[in-house]
Amino acid sequence: MHGRKLPVDRSHFVPTDCLDRTPTRVMTHRTWRLCLLAIVGVALCLRLTYVITVVGDDALAGDAIYYSAQAETITRGTGFAHPFTGEAAADHPPATAVLLALPSIGGGDPAFEQRMFMALLGTMAVVAVAFLGREVARSLSTDPRVVRVGSLIVASAAALHPGFWINDGLAMSETPTTLITALVLIAAFRWRRGDGSAWTLGVLGGLAVLTRAELGLLMALLVMPVGLPWAWPRRLRQIMIVTIVALMTVAPWTIRNVVRFEEPVLVSTNDGLTLRGANCDPAYFEGVGFWYLQCAGPVEGDQSEVSSEYRRQAVDYVGDNLDRLPAVVGARLARVWSVWEVDAMTHLNQGEGRPPTASWLAVVGWWLLAPAAAGAILILRRRDRPVLVLVAPFVTVTAVAIATYGIPRFRLPAEVAAVGALAVYGVVSAERSWGRATPTPTPLPLPPHGSRPAEE
């Protein structure tokens, strides 16, 4: 008798696979992939429909004229020569023109093909933002099923958000900015958590600067040493790796500019024109906080010398009008965050090829998105989760608007972070509903004779 094991009444035990029999089992990895694929399909159809039926064969406008022509110049083998003068050019960072050169290789209608390419790139951005949502969800929960729900909510919002697809019919830098910002934030989340590569973040950060120069400020904020999961010597080593790799990624373009121009040009010569157009009488006393091309008069020299002179004129103007600066800065911020002269800004958007109705949809989408994102970030703070990666784009946009001028398209990095933050609500709702669905284990009664159950 001593060698025999007493039988155990297993009816008193909860099955070990009980979670597999609850509604939580529905969100398997296969289900998640199918749902994400369906959302991406909707995003692609929406963007192609917008390009074909709304934008169509409209004439290029604003910066799209330069980007499109520069792309064709690249396909002809003349590199980054100015498409209209043939001189050395660095009007904008090179990444957008290089991307637009891809659909321009085969000839045909370059403007339409470039817009279709941007629609595809915008769909890729939806996928990237969905994975950003997954990283946000992972900062709150270790349950992969809950994380998947959060990422699908973000994917749906990214697919439908007008602030994204309104740019996918333009041959401009906004769609590449959406994509690269999402990738940088994903890499930053992983790096700051300790399971991502500093090299990856550095390369993506360099590509971000080559897409939009002001994203260099975003990188500076993301590599701040606060909250890193390493001791100080390793923190500094990791920050140095990210910084050096980012600089190495940008270096070939900067070296090319140093060789070609009279004055130093790190990324582009557009900063002088931007500052001059934002610091003049019309921008300080008429359309306060905006930008005016007519303020930039003719200047002799190559692009670098012209940009340098414009910067000097802008600094002199600011020094002569310091009393107006607080009002101008306030107007710039109000414009970029769409809380002042919204109707005027939607009208001005037409100058870059955005239809008024689509512009209004983008504004309404932002008004709905902003408070939701703020609430999500507050939830993260209350749960003592790091929020620097999500807050940094908002700081970047604010700083850029203060230094230059206010326009909604400058807000894109913050919109990427705001949509990614929506994953928090998916995590919270999934935890609540699935938590109630999970059965509570039943107390285990002692078997007969007071002996313990036999171990399996």
CA 23, distance to chain mean position in Å, is: 33
Q: Which 8-state DSSP code applies to residue 422?
A: T
Question: What does the pLDDT look like over 14-27, one tens digit per residue?
Answer: 333 333 334 445 57
Q: Is the pLDDT of residue 340 over 60?
A: yes
Give yes or no for a contact between 202 and 396, defined as CB atoms under 8 angstroms apart. no
Give the mean pLDDT of 73-88.
89
Give yes or no for a contact between 291 and 405, defined as CB atoms under 8 angstroms apart. yes
CA 28, distance to chain mean position in Å, is: 28
Give yes or no for a contact between 134 and 81, defined as CB atoms under 8 angstroms apart. no
Q: Which 8-state DSSP code applies to residue 448?
A: G
Residue 88 has phi, psi (to 5 degrees) of: -60, 135
* Single-letter amino acid, residue 297: G
Residue 81 has phi, psi (to 5 degrees) of: -70, 150
d(CA 429, CA 151): 13
Q: Is the pLDDT of residue 387 over 60?
A: yes
Q: Is the pLDDT of residue 213 over 80?
A: yes
The upper half-sphere exposure of residue 268, i.e. CA atoms within 13 Å in the direction of its Cβ, equals: 21
- How many residues belong to the chain? 456
- At residue 319's C-alpha, the angle toward residues 318 and 322, to 5°, is 75
Q: What is the CA radius of gyration of the chain?
A: 27
* Single-letter amino acid, residue 49: T
d(CA 186, CA 158): 15
Q: For position 350, what pLDDT does the model report?
A: 85
Per-residue DSSP letters for 80-149?
Answer: TB-TTT-SB--SS-SHHHHHHHHHHTT-S-HHHHHHHHHHHHHHHHHHHHHHHHHHHHHTT---HHHHHH
Question: What does the pLDDT look like over 226-255, one tens digit per residue?
Answer: 999 999 999 999 999 999 999 999 999 999
Cβ neighbours for 110, distance < 8 A, ≥ 6 positions apart:
68, 71, 72, 103, 104
The mean pLDDT value of the chain amounts to 90
Q: For position 20, what pLDDT does the model report?
A: 39
Position with higher pLDDT, 12 vs 333: 333
Q: How confident is the model at residue 370 (pLDDT cuts 50, 70, 90)?
A: very high
Position with higher pLDDT, 436 vs 138: 138
In what helix (H) or strand (E) does residue 428 lie, and over which residues does it extend? helix 423-437
Mapping DSSP to helix (H, G, I), strand (E, B) and coil, where does residue 423 land?
helix
Q: For position 58, what pLDDT does the model report?
A: 87
Question: pLDDT exceeding 90 applies to what percent of the chain?
Answer: 79
**In b/e form, how buried is each residue of 236-259, taking b as 16+ CB within 10 angstroms?**
eebbebbbebbeebbeebbebbee
Token output for 64: 């799209």
Mapping DSSP to helix (H, G, I), strand (E, B) and coil, where does residue 101 land?
helix
Distances (CA, A) of 182 to 191, 313, 365: 14, 36, 19
- At residue 375's C-alpha, the angle toward residues 369 and 378, to 5°, is 140
Q: For position 110, what pLDDT does the model report?
A: 87
**In b/e form, how buried is each residue of 158-172, taking b as 16+ CB within 10 angstroms?**
bbbbbbbbbbbbbbb
- Residues paired with residue 81 on neighbouring β-strands, in sequence order: 88
Cβ neighbours for 176, distance < 8 A, ≥ 6 positions apart:
95, 96, 99, 121, 211
Q: Is the pLDDT of residue 434 over 60?
A: yes
> What are the residue ranges of helices labelled H in 223-302?
232-260, 270-278, 281
Is the full-model pTM beyond 0.85? yes
* Single-letter amino acid, residue 28: T
Mapping DSSP to helix (H, G, I), strand (E, B) and coil, where does residue 260 land?
helix
Q: How confident is the model at residue 448 (pLDDT cuts 50, 70, 90)?
A: low
Q: For position 312, what pLDDT does the model report?
A: 98
Position with higher pLDDT, 104 vs 413: 413
